[in-house]
Copies of this chain bind each other. A is one copy, B any other.
């Protein structure tokens, strides 16, 4: 049986228990299929919700920001909630009440902190690039002193988390199927990768990177991100639990 996040008053689903999951495999699959999350944090009593790039290793989450950013400074040492949502479909039913969307989402709770160890930070900066596709960190120029200083890496151990999934069809009240003339359907919504627009100053003769074999136009972006995560990060787990969990899942 897969490990699970503890169920506490913070993450326990009060409604639609049928859609809830707490096991690592379900939670991590949703997180690893995304590049962008939304983070809730508070400044002077005012909640803020900010989108940012992030990635997971084991039961830790990482994201980055400018060292000059107020958001980053405010998050350090504070409770936050990091949320990922994949919209999968519109669900159009015969009553407003049964209209819905199909989705996969995770809310992860913990305390954010700035990664202060320079060696750890440097590794993590590479890992963020390799999260796009395996091996990219070896192709790019490494950060110079100024870039290193200007970038902050944030970390959070997932104290608890919940996943919520809806992936079913139209479900109406029995009496509505035969009597309500509303054309009803599920419309998939998918984030897809388009055709690359190469940099006009591409180095002549440069080969398309091996690590980008999965970057085929039309591929679902969540599938691509999950594959990149599996190939680029999972085999080189920074934290011991990453490899264990990968095996377990």
Contacts and interface: CB of A to CB of B under 8 A. Distances in A.
A185 B198 contact: yes
Interface stretch (A20-28, A55-63, A93-101, A235-243): A93-101
B180 A197 contact: no
A33 interface: no
Interface in A66-120: 66, 68-70, 79-83, 85, 87, 89-90, 92-97, 99, 101, 103, 105, 107, 109
A196 interface: yes
A36 B178 contact: no
Interface of A: 10, 14-15, 35-36, 38-42, 45-51, 53, 66, 68-70, 79-83, 85, 87, 89-90, 92-97, 99, 101, 103, 105, 107, 109, 125-126, 128-129, 132, 136-137, 139-143, 147, 150-151, 169-170, 172-173, 176-203, 206-209, 212, 215, 221
